[in-house]
A and B are shown apart, each in its own frame.
Chain A
Amino acid sequence: MSDRTEGIREIARKWLGDGTVEAVVGWEQGTYKDKTSPVLIRTPEEADRLLFNERCTNNLMTYLKREPVRGMEKVGIVAKGCDIKALIGLLQESQVEREKVKVIAVTCPGVKKDDGTVPVKCRACDVNTPTFYDEIVGEKVDSSPEPGARFEGLEALDAMTPAERFRFWRGELDKCIRCYACRQVCPLCICSRCIAEKNQPQWVETSPHPRGNFSWNLVRAYHLAGRCVECEACETACPVNIPLMLLNRAMARTVKGAFDYEAGKDPETQPPLRAFNLDDDNSFIL
Chain B
Amino acid sequence: MSKIGVFVCHCGENISRTVDCERVARASEQIRGVAFATDYKYMCSDPGQALIKKAIREYELDGVVVSSCSPHMHEKTFRKAVEEAGLNPFLCEMANIREHCSWVHEKEETTTRKAIELVRLMVEKVKRNVALEPIRVNVTKRALVIGGGVGGIQAALDIADGGHEVILVEKDPSVGGHMAQLSETFPTLDCSQCILTPKMVDVGSHPNIKLYTYSEVEKIEGFVGNFKVTIKKKARSVDIDKCTGCGECQLKCPSKKIPSEFDRGLKNRTAIYIPFPQAVPARPVIDREHCIYFTKGKCKACQKVCPAGAIDYEQTDEYVEEEVGGIVVATGFDLYTVGEQGPYPDYRGYGEYGYGEDPDIIDGLQFERLASASGPTGGAILRPSDGKEPKSVVFLKCIGSRHPSKGIEFCSKICCMYTAKHTMLYKHKVHDGTAYVFYMDIRSPGKGYDEFVRRAIEEDGAVYLRGRVSRIYRSGDHLIVKGADTLSGAAVEIEADMVVLATAVMPQPGIEGLFQKLGISYDQYKFANEAHPKLRPVECATAGIFLAGACQGPKDIPETVAQASGAASKVQILFSRDEMLREPVVAKVNENTCIACWYCLEVCPFKAITQKEIRDRKGNLIKRVAEVNPSVCTGCGTCAATCFSNSIDLAGFTDEQIYSEINALMAVGQDLFPEPGKEEGESPDEQAA
Contacts and interface: CB of A to CB of B under 8 A. Distances in A.
B596 A94 contact: yes
B599 A166 contact: no
Interface stretch (A15-23, A126-134, A197-205): A197-205
B603 interface: yes
Given A163-B683, A166-B688, A193-B645, 7 more contacts: A162-B685, A169-B689, A193-B593, A201-B660, A211-B672, A274-B602, A276-B603
Interface string A131-169: 000000000000000000000000000000111011101
B513 A190 contact: no
B659 A192 contact: no
A214 B685 CA distance: 16
A262 to B, nearest CB: 18
Contacts of A201: 655-656, 659-660
A179 interface: no
Contact of A278 (B516, B599, B655): B516
19 contacts: A93-B597, A95-B595, A161-B685, A162-B685, A163-B682, A163-B685, A163-B688, A165-B688, A170-B673, A191-B595, A193-B592, A195-B644, A214-B672, A214-B673, A273-B599, A273-B603, A273-B642, A274-B603, A274-B642
A193 B595 CA distance: 9
B459 interface: no
A258 interface: no
A125 B603 CA distance: 32
B612 to A, nearest CB: 14
B597 A94 contact: yes
A111 B164 CA distance: 71
A223 interface: yes
Nearest to A221: B689
B646 interface: yes
A190 B645 CA distance: 8
A190 B595 contact: yes
Interface in B586-640: 592-593, 595-599, 602-603
Interface string A10-43: 0000000000000000000000000000000000
B686 interface: yes
B646 A162 contact: no
A170 B598 CA distance: 35
A73 B660 CA distance: 44
Contacts of B645: 190-193, 195
Nearest to A210: B673
A218 interface: yes
A190 B683 CA distance: 34
Contacts of B595: 95, 190-192
A74 interface: no
A216 to B, nearest CB: 13
A94 B644 CA distance: 14
Contacts of B592: 193
A95 B593 contact: no
A209 interface: yes
Interface string A269-285: 01101111010000000
Contact of A190 (B597, B642, B659, B689): B597
A173 to B, nearest CB: 10
A127 B288 CA distance: 47
B673 A198 contact: no
Interface in A191-244: 191-193, 195, 198, 200-201, 203, 209-211, 214, 218, 223
Interface size on B, as a range, is 20 to 34
Nearest 8 interchain pairs by C-beta: A166-B688, A201-B659, A191-B645, A274-B602, A162-B685, A93-B597, A210-B673, A162-B688
Contacts of B597: 93-95, 190
Nearest to A195: B646
B593 A203 contact: no
Interface string B646-670: 1000000001100110000000000
A140 B659 CA distance: 53
Interface residues of A, number: 33
* Secondary structure of the B contact surface, majority rule: loop
Nearest to B644: A223
A201 B662 CA distance: 11
Nearest to B675: A209
Interface in A68-105: 93-95
Nearest to A212: B673
B598 A93 contact: yes
Nearest to A200: B656
- Of B602, B642, B672, B688, chain A has the most CB atoms within 10 Å of the CB of B688
Contacts of A203: 646, 655, 659
Contacts of A166: 672, 683, 688-689
Nearest to A201: B659
Contacts of B672: 166, 211, 214
A193 B689 CA distance: 26
B646 A198 contact: yes
B598 A270 contact: no
A4 to B, nearest CB: 33
B62 to A, nearest CB: 21
A146 to B, nearest CB: 29
Contact of B593 (A94, A162, A192, A218): A192
A67 to B, nearest CB: 14
Contacts of A270: 602
A201 B593 CA distance: 15
Contacts of A170: 673
Nearest to A275: B602
Chain B CB within 10 Å, residue with most, of A201, A209, A218? A201
A254 to B, nearest CB: 13
Interface string A178-196: 0000000000001111010
A278 B513 contact: yes
Contacts of B683: 163, 166-167
Nearest to B590: A193
Contacts of B659: 201, 203
A161 B673 CA distance: 19
A214 B682 CA distance: 17
Contacts of B688: 162-163, 165-166
Most buried by B among A192, A195, A200: A192
Contacts of A200: 655-656
B270 to A, nearest CB: 35
A209 B672 CA distance: 12
A93 B645 CA distance: 13
Nearest to B656: A201
Contacts of B602: 270, 274-275
Interface in B365-424: none
A157 to B, nearest CB: 11
Interface string A27-71: 000000000000000000000000000000000000000000000
A162 B686 contact: yes
A195 B645 CA distance: 7
Contacts of A278: 513, 516
A2 to B, nearest CB: 40
Contacts of B655: 200-201, 203
Contacts of A190: 595, 597, 645
B78 to A, nearest CB: 27
Contacts of A162: 685-686, 688-689
Contacts of A211: 672-673
Contacts of B644: 191, 195, 223
Nearest to A270: B602
Nearest to B592: A193
A210 B597 CA distance: 31
Contacts of A191: 593, 595, 644-646
Contacts of B673: 170, 209-211, 214
